[in-house]
Structure 1
Amino acid sequence: MLPKELLTDFLSVALYLLVGVVFAVVPIILSMLIVKRSTGKMREATYESGMETIGTAWMQFTVAYYIYALIFLAFDVDVLYLFPVALAYGKYAIRDLVEIFIFVGILSLAIVYAWCKGVFEWKPREE
């Protein structure tokens, strides 16, 4: 038999899990029940800003766009990390500042690496 405290902990985790699943599943079921589904040729047409599309929607992009987006995402997350770190300076402010400089230095190495690999050089696509 499990101790009462452990059983209470398991029940609270199970309750949180159940509430999370309910909050995820109920809106999906409600939208299936409430929304009227449409069918037809216009339903499957590509819609872009109210203008008729020219050509196919399936086109290839160069990998540079993907790498550029990943670099942007990485730096965006890192800036979000730096704000709370900067606000949490304690009595070891110099040490914290050095740690931030080391962190930003490592990020700068990633930019230099991407620059050396030519990620930031945009070449027109050859068709």
Structure 2
Amino acid sequence: MVKTKLKKGDPVIVIAGKEKGKTGKIKQIIRGSDPNKVRVVIEGVNVGKKHVKHIEGVREGGIFEIERPIHISNVAYYDEEKGEKVKIGIRIREEGNKIIKERYNKKTGETIDQIYEKEKK
């Protein structure tokens, strides 16, 4: 399993491809059988049309707009306050008798969020 520094609900910006420059939040992370094929679905980005056939009693037919997945290497975490992309790091801090694992901004050193906190043995 590939460990990604991004997770569901994170604001991201597309850094490559035809959707370059668009921003949105991650709706879903799709992990393939190959560890290098991790893709993300982002709200309002890479929207395509899907033609759906009518099935009696189940669904209406028609043309629907759906968000298609993008490879995770083509997106970066987006700092909404500063309006720029950010490199994320993971660090482990010891505070008293607690061990805290957190994500942080590599440039400024600010903590983005905590992954977990547990007691030291």
Alignment TM-score > 0.5, same fold: no
Greater RCO (CA < 8 Å, at least 6 residues apart)? 1
Larger radius of gyration: 1
- Measured against the shorter chain, the TM-score band is under 0.3
Task: Tell me the TM-score normalised to structure 1 length.
Answer: 0.19
More strand by share: 2
Which TM-score applies when normalising by structure 2? Answer: 0.20
